[in-house]
Chains A and B, each alone.
Chain A
Amino acid sequence: MREITLSRAVNEAIAEEMRRDPRVFLMGEDVAEAGTPFKVLSGLVEEFGPERVIDTPISEPGFVGLAVGAAMTGARPVVDLMFGDFLYLVMDQLCNQAAKQHYMSGGKLTVPMVLRTNLGATRRSAAQHSQSLQALVAHIPGLKVAMPSSAYEAKGLMKTAIRDENPVVIFEDKLMYQDKAPVPEEEYLIPFGQAKVTRPGRDITLIATSSMVQVAEAAAERLSGEGIQAEVIDPRTLVPLDEATLLESVKRTSRAIVIDEGHQSYGVTAEIASRLTEKAFYHLDAPVVRMGAMDVPVPFSPALEDLTVPAPEGVVEIARRLCAGELVHGA
């Protein structure tokens, strides 16, 4: 199978959907000729014209608000939010407006829009261009949240998001845009709410999102050298969450580490860990451990920044101790 970059996969997904459905259009800062700073959308304006690939002013609340209104009245906008950190700017439009319209109207209005943005530290971009804010939006009822972990997932999830009748936020890891993965030529969709077991195992379950799947895979590889067979699961969407697959795995392995690049406190890891504890308690042979980003603003200095995100060594160490029956965080 051919291998393409995650960036190319996103581009293909949007192009295919724009060809399929004339209601789909793209808007955001520098999405047209510039193709975004990450060049993810390059070439789209040439094919679809500036009417459907719209460069906006630097007005995040404004253009997200426009997307909400366009979606409520029959269009299917894909909005590009250049950095995930800018989510804070659009909170009212996303959380008070987009997320609630369907419910507040008793099911009469729908907001089929996609907000694609990014996450991920270690790009030396410091505290306002490095955040992973998926927990913030996953907390809001009415928003769906997808987190592709490879080019394959990025394409399939984007196409599904564009066809969804609800507001969907997709977080791409900005360090993965050039990562290649096998992506079929033929069309495919990845349904929301279906986790993927990327590596089977029997001793411990590593649940990881986005680029943390790579961290979990690397850890699992090392653990296998020590005789510990780790299972790696990528939930792929946080909302809806494929709880059944996670629970089935954890009930089988009796141990779990949840890894996500958002801040650890009150985060994605906390939510998943608590669901596992609530629903698989009597199958757990060790505490479920969260591994998120440190609870600090992302520092600039590489010497500091690299300390803030989960790395394979840390996962290996915790997994080893959990499997040995050692106390990880006290008894």
Chain B
Amino acid sequence: MTDARTNSAEYLRMYRQMVRIRTFEDNANQLYLSAKMPGLTHMYSGEEAVAVGLCEALTDDDRITSTHRGHGHCVAKGAEFREMFCELLGKAEGYCRGKGGSMHIADQSHGNLGANAIVGGSMGIATGSALRAKLMGSDDVTVCFFGDGATAQGLWYEVMNMAALWRLPVIYACENNGYSEYTKTEEIAAGSITARAEAFGIEAHRVDGQDVLAVNALARDLVARARRGEGPFFVELETYRYHGHHVGDINREYYRSKEEERDWKENRDPILRFRGWLVSEGIATEDEIEAMGAEIAEDAAAAVAYAEAAAYPPAHEVDMHVFAD
């Protein structure tokens, strides 16, 4: 950490954002299991340091594209619990007026261009956003989040090629949680993932995705360089998803052992690790951290209660927003 970064407020903000993501997901999980939430959802728990480390390096003018496992990106980019829970429950006050739901949540006000239910589907959008920034002389940067599974999509290679040709300010952030849906990534990915980006002449990095400080330090560097026209970049973030592919993926021992899950949760949890560091560095006390957690839990409970009581969109909205005026 440089001197300029010894800002306890920033660390606490990062910690708060990670806990907010975890708390949001715990509540979303309960809403789903108790059949109060329609559809299905994919939990981000365990990957918090990735979204927070990257998004804390961005401004509201910078854009991200998100994935089906997108609640974490959305929270990290600045979204509010209330509008998010409303969206998850299909309510009119949701970010997308209940038309997107968990897999399409978008928050334009904070630069979140939206989750995408097509694996790899947003790679073109992120690269196009970067193309727009370059064409229009804007210095914003776009971060394209996707999972290791999406590296199997051909679209990525098409857009990386163009991004490299035209030096676009885009950062491809591959959240490698080791599993491509219900399959170990090593079974579906040949060779090296970073080498794929390098083949296009793109500078590629690999980082511990459970270490928010490491992620954030790398992100700040790459974002700054991308703003100067040195992009694109590729980052592979080693991380872990605590839940199954989606909430209903319960019996998953055929592809992933409970021992492995326990090891990641007990020994590599990004929140526990960062909490220990904050306390040992004297940035926060245990009591302060407990109080922060309680406050966030209270916020989340209030937002859930609000969303549960909120109104569904009126029927006449069903054919609204097909076309823009």
Contact = CB atoms under 8 A, between A and B. Distances in A.
Contacts of B155: 61-62, 65, 92-93
B128 A71 contact: yes
A69 B132 contact: yes
A141 interface: yes
Nearest to A142: B322
Contact of A105 (B106, B166, B322): B106
A248 to B, nearest CB: 24
A62 B158 CA distance: 5
B137 to A, nearest CB: 10
B129 interface: yes
Interface in B153-187: 154-155, 158-159, 161-162, 165-166
B325 A165 contact: yes
Contacts of A214: none
B128 A68 contact: yes
Interface stretch (B31-39, B73-81, B113-121, B278-286): B113-121
B99 interface: yes
A23 B131 contact: no
B104 A104 contact: yes
A69 B323 contact: no
A106 B98 contact: yes
A218 interface: no
Given A107-B97, A110-B324, A66 B124 contact: yes
Interface string A103-139: 1111111101000000000000000000000000000
A97 interface: yes
Nearest to B170: A69
A83 interface: no
B119 to A, nearest CB: 11
Interface stretch (A52-60, A198-206, A268-276, A284-292): A52-60
- Most chain-A Cβ atoms within 10 A of its Cβ — which of B63, B100, B142? B100
Interface string B293-325: 000000000000000000000000000111111
A106 B93 CA distance: 10
Contacts of B63: 73
Contacts of A71: 128
Nearest to B96: A106
Interface in A50-106: 51-52, 54, 56-57, 59, 61-75, 77, 92-93, 96-97, 101-106
Interface in A160-182: 165-166
Contacts of B125: 65, 68-69, 72, 97
Contact of B99 (A64, A75, A77, A103): A103
A144 interface: yes
A32 B51 CA distance: 39
A152 interface: no
A166 B321 CA distance: 11
A65 B127 contact: yes
Interface in A1-31: 22-23, 25
A301 B121 CA distance: 39
A142 B323 contact: yes
Interface centre among B97, B100, B324 (most CB of A within 10 A): B324
A104 B132 contact: no
B124 A62 contact: yes
B126 interface: yes
Contact of B121 (A56, A77, A92): A92
B128 A70 contact: yes
B118 A92 contact: yes
Contacts of B124: 61-62, 64-66, 68-69, 93, 97
B168 to A, nearest CB: 9
B232 interface: no
Nearest to B116: A97
B158 A102 contact: no
Contacts of A92: 118, 121, 155
Contact of A73 (B99, B133, B321): B133
A102 B320 CA distance: 10
B96 A75 contact: no
Given A57-B158, A96-B118, A97-B121, A66 B100 contact: no
Contacts of A106: 94-100, 321
Contacts of A69: 65, 113, 124-132, 142
A75 B322 contact: no
A105 B136 CA distance: 24
Contact of B135 (A25, A65, A102, A110): A25
B194 interface: no
A39 B131 CA distance: 25
A327 B101 CA distance: 52
A70 B131 CA distance: 6
Given A57-B162, A73-B113, A104 B106 contact: yes
Nearest to B126: A69
Interface string A226-269: 00000000000000000000000000000000000000000000
A25 B134 CA distance: 12
B204 to A, nearest CB: 19
B128 A66 contact: yes
A70 to B, nearest CB: 4
Contacts of A68: 124-125, 128
Interface of A: 22-23, 25, 51-52, 54, 56-57, 59, 61-75, 77, 92-93, 96-97, 101-110, 112, 141-142, 144, 165-166
14 contacts: A25-B135, A62-B158, A65-B125, A65-B128, A66-B159, A68-B124, A73-B132, A75-B136, A101-B114, A104-B99, A105-B108, A106-B99, A107-B321, A165-B325
Given A66-B128, A69-B130, A106-B96, 4 more contacts: A63-B162, A70-B132, A107-B97, A165-B324
Sort A-B residue pairs by CB-CB distance and give the 8 closest, nearest first: A65-B124, A69-B128, A62-B158, A106-B97, A69-B125, A59-B158, A66-B128, A106-B96
